Each structure stands twice: as structure tokens, then as C-alpha cells.
Structure 1
């Protein structure tokens, strides 16, 4: 929504339409964590050219001419309503949030010391994904170094996105369990993860049964998944061409 300009005795006034409340339409939102520069607001010591560059970096290029002579301190003195009246509702809220951006806390902090060194480097992870950790580890090593993440580390990173249910499954003929983290707690989600444990020839299975009381085969449903005990263990076997059986084991 654009501001309204009117002339009154030679003075130009900016009027905001009275029928809308900016705070009620769009709330203040934190800035994204992808660009470190976006996690800190404009410095009050920024000169006018530095302020113009900051505006351009944060996708406010169309408003650069409006703030041509503004320093960082000048821009920071503007209230939220002032900025909305000058830039319009959507851009005004976005600019105010960018100016007063708060630090976004990482989801995981790790300290790494490369071999041969005695000083640790701190790595802040926001997405908690293996690719993110690999990218940050490469900054600590020579370009020719090859990095391979241990499976336990990958599982730990995934675990940081707290699942609603964790189950351990051992396919028939194996002695090692695989951990499955369920976030949606739906039958389709569990079936998809079970298929990753099977050989390619078995991945066409689309039915899962759970061994119930007295060995009764119970069809897997969303409701059943939601009632599975957390951190429970199961044996997985294929009993028909398109059917899998999950049998609880003693914990």
C-alpha cells in the first residue's frame, strides 16, 4: 500500500491511510540466517555512502534515492511508522526489521581443531545438515583436503531437528540396527524410511504390518505410528512380495 502525499499551503505532508494497522497486518519477523551481514543491523556510524550500499545489499535499491543524504544514525532514528509512511507498508516493515535485526542463534555450535594445530575454531550451524558442516570444515583445511563425515555425525546432525518418534530397525539377516527419525509420524513416512533399508528388488513393497498381541498382524496406520513407543526396536522382514512385517524385539 503506497503512502498518500498532499499539499497544504506549500507544505508537503505524508498521510498514511487510517483504515489499516501495520502491526495487525504484518508482524515483525526475524531476518534469514543465510547471509551473515543480514544478521546485524545498519551501524549508527555508517556514512551516507555506506548507508546507500547497505540499502542496496538488502534489496532496497528503489529507496536509495529517497535516503541519499541519510547516514546510518539518521536512518536508525526513524520510527517504524516513519519508515512505513516513506516506503510503503511491505517494504517499510522489511526495512525496519533489517535495520533492527537481532542475532539469530545457531541451532548447534561445535569447536574443531585441525590435526597439527592447538587452537580450536568455532563453527555455528543453523540448518544442522551434513552439507553445511562439510562446507564449514573445508574452510579450516587446505583446498586439496578430502573430508568424509562419520555416519554417527550425520545421524547426530539429523537428530538436532527434534523428531517426534525414534525407532530402531534391524532387517532380517542383519545384526546391526538402523535408527529412523520420524517427524510427521505418518505411515507413509515410516514406509519410505523402511524401504531405504531394503535391497532394490524389495522396494516395491507398499504394505507394512506390525506384529501385535499374540502375534496378530496389524496394518500400519497413521494412528498406530503415533502410538508406537519412542526408542523401540523392531525386526523387519518381507513376508510377501509387497508386504513387510515389523516385529518388536526385547529392549
Structure 2
């Protein structure tokens, strides 16, 4: 294990340093010096690697992984870059020398099989401290950006190729070829060009597909039978009424693409919905052209991860809530009567009072979220609700907390404490 690797926990492994022939011939006392920069891939290394072998990190295809750019310079080292930017170029290259000789042909074949997709991308919204990120359309495996060594910098990368795409025989069960993430850092010369080499490093990775997810995932998205058989009562004021239908989920605030959208407007829509990578590919596509694309078409053009996301955005698909509950305002006088539930009618109580039920859609399934949704529904401040209780079958009141399962918790009456 290299000395630099001992400085970090298991989840923050630094890249193995890559030395040129000139750097390898440095005197022993110079060879062990701390290099000016260090890059840390925030992903767990494989425990199956032998003790003295180079570390190997397994990545999921299309998932964003953080690489921290660290400035390890000593005081007075490289003063010419103080207060200035440096450029780092990221590449995904082959680890095996056999594939390095045919890299151009391998990448061209991959481009032919995956039109419109890239091997390496930067997740710009998640990255911190990077300036002027660029991805050359002709270099699918390369991205670059500027950064200030004096400031915190983290770049999130996505690798879209998988290791088994470059195996010679594809009969299933292949181990897949290893890749290298290579980083070259340059400083600015007298002409303002970033051509003076400062530092290079790389690490070994393998990339595989994630387990396929269902197109739509539901987690208890309807009220439980026990909850349907009782009223969810809140002593938050007076009001009555009687709906005989279940409300639909609220319409999402989305920017839907219309068939009448012009190609220029379609380009703006792609930017607004985080599909900037594909704007060049869809330059002449109108709204009608994009909406005619099938799910398979979009996945073939954009790849599986972004393809599914783009298809859902084109079709305006709404994300269903994880849990829906129905609440109503209960009269304070009725609350004080403490009328047993079995004496109440289906839509009200024995006195003919009817209740208005409102749907609350929960995503995080936390007590804080429920409190905020209740406060928003009844136009009060969340601070006015100090606690929320559930009423058990014997009439006891149990305090709601995140530790209590919501599927059980919401089977009984809920009472907020104002």
C-alpha cells in the first residue's frame, strides 16, 4: 500500500500516481516527496485485490462519483500558480496494453454502437469549484475544466461504457476489461494557454451495469384498509362538507413539451430539463419530432440512464407519492364529545355532521414532512403544531416519530397538539 493511501479512510482512496520515465529516474530523496496535487476517488476499493497489487474500484454505469482535487503543495512550492487557475483533463483509457494499441478502433466501434452517447461525462450540477467544463464531441472519453487549487474543488464524473463491451468473446459471464481514469493537470503559459504540464495521476476501475429498476416504483401508494375504516381527525378549526370521491394527486409543476414547439424552443426545453448534453444531437428536432420518439428510440440515442429520464420527461410522467393519507377538519365541539368511532356514520357522525377530506401526499415518510404538509393544508405555521399523536384501538395516544412505521402509524386517528 502506498504511503499516500494510508492517509485516507477506506471510502476515500487516492489515485495511484503515474510517473513518466523522467520522474521515475529522480533521486531517491526526491522520488518520495509529496507531489503537488492529489486526487481522491470517493468510492470503495475492491477487497478482492491482493495486498501488494494496485487497488481496483468497481463503478456503476452512468452513476455520478466524486473526485476530490487536493492541493498538497508545501509553503513556497509552485508560487507561479498562486491565485491562478489550472486545467485538468480527465480521460477514460484502457488498462491492458493490448487494447491500448487498438484504442482508436475500439472507441470508433463503441461510437457506432452507441450513437449520441459519451464514454465520460461531468455531472455539472453536483460538481463544486469547476470552471468552464468542456466535453469535446469528437473525444468521447475526455472532459476538461479549470479550477483554483486554493479553493475546494470536487468534480462528479459519469462513466457510460461498461467493461464487458470490450471483451473479445461475449458469451456471458465475462470478467470485463479494466479501465483507467487518467488526470493530467496543466498550468498557464505566457500566451495564456494551458500547455505546461504539472502533474499526472490515474487509478484502475471496472464499470458494470446497475441492476435494472422497474419503470415505476410504488411503496404503499394507497391508504391501508385499516385507515380507510376510520376518520383521520384534526382539531384545527371548524368546517364541514362531504366529498364522495378520492382526490387525484396534485398536478406536477412541469415544463411539458408540446407538438407545436419549434426546434429553438425544443433546445431551450432540453437545457431547462438537464439534457444539455444532447442539444447538439437534437438540433433540428421540433416538439412533434421529439414526442414521436419511442422509448427504445430514446434509449438507443441517449443510453439507458438518460434515455429513460428523457422519455419520462417527454411524456410528462408524474412521480407517484409513496403514501397518500386523507385528513379532515373536526369540530372542536365534536372532539370534546369523544364520540366512539362505531357510533359515527360512514360520512359523518350521528348528528348528521359531514367532514371534508383532503389528500396529503408523502414522499419522505417522516414526522417533519407530515407536520409541514398539515400546516400547509390548514394555512398555519408548522411551529403551531408541537406534536402529532396516533390514537390506538384502546384509545391511547402514541407520539408520532420517524422510528414508527407509517404503514402502521396511519391506520388510526391522528391528533396534532397545537
* TM-score under structure 2 length normalisation: 0.27
Identify which of structures 1 and 2 has the higher relative contact order when contacts are C-alpha pairs closer than 8 Å and 6+ apart.
2
**Bigger radius of gyration:** 2
Larger relative helix fraction: 1
TM-score, normalised on structure 1? Answer: 0.40
